[in-house]
């Protein structure tokens, strides 16, 4: 029986299918749904879990080479939120120091979603906090 780390079996199954250069979306509670990709909904209530909670759990076993996020994230959130995301992003650099962060218009970010392996829906209310991770 798994006793630490990610316990959700649907989430574990989704993560196990990711290969080199595949992408996965980690989204807030209001992010649009895409019927053509698998969605694992781990939202419990507003704010639980946060996108950064999921990112922090992935550090141990997900080698990320690239992250996409909406550029609007930077202008709509307080510094404390920006710092929390930066810390979560930096956690991936211990496995891959060349990590690339790309910020683009939110509408362009959404255009990348259909090519992803899946989407993890959280309870996060952070404006434009959604991220797309690409495995190395």
For the stretch 5-58, pLDDT in tens is 899 999 999 999 999 999 999 999 999 999 999 999 999 999 999 999 999 999
To the query of whether residue 20 is one of the catalytic residues in this protein, the response is yes
Q: Where are the domains of the chain?
A: 9-135
Q: Give the CA angle between residues 12, 15, 62 to the nearest 5°.
A: 115
For the stretch 95-123, pLDDT in tens is 889 999 999 999 999 999 999 999 999 99
Q: Give the CA angle between residues 70, 51, 107 to the nearest 5°.
A: 20
Residue with tokens 């997900």: 62
Instruction: Quote the pTM value.
Output: 0.96
- Which of 4, 20, 36, 98 is the catalytic position? 20
Evaluated on CA atoms 62, 65, 68, 69, the torsion sign reads positive
Q: Are 28 and 51 in contact (CB under 8 A)?
A: yes
For the stretch 49-89, pLDDT in tens is 999 999 999 998 899 999 999 999 999 999 999 999 999 99
Beta bridge partners of 109: none
Q: Are 69 and 88 in contact (CB under 8 A)?
A: no
Q: Which CATH class is domain 9-135?
A: alpha beta
Strands 64-70 vs 131-135: parallel, antiparallel or unpaired: antiparallel
Q: Kindly list the distances between the CA atom of residue 96 and the CA atoms of 33, 37, 69, in Å, as whole numbers in the listed order.
A: 30, 27, 18
pLDDT range class, residue 3, cuts 50, 70, 90: confident
């Amino acid at each position: 029986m798994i006793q630490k780390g990610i316990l959700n079996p649907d989430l574990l199954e989704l993560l196990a299918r990711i290969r080199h250069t595949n992408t996965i979306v980690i989204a807030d509670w209001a992010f649009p749904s895409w019927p053509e990709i698998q969605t694992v909904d781990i939202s419990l209530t507003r704010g639980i879990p946060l996108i950064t909670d999921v990112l922090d759990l992935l550090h141990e076993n997900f080698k990320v080479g690239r992250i996409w996020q909406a550029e609007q994230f930077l202008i709509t959130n307080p510094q404390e939120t920006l710092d929390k995301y930066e810390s979560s992003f930096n956690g991936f650099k211990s496995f891959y120091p060349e990590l690339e962060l790309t910020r683009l218009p939110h509408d362009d970010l959404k255009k990348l979603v259909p090519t992803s392996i899946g989407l993890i829906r959280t309870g996060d209310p952070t404006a434009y906090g959604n991220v797309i991770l690409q495995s190395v």
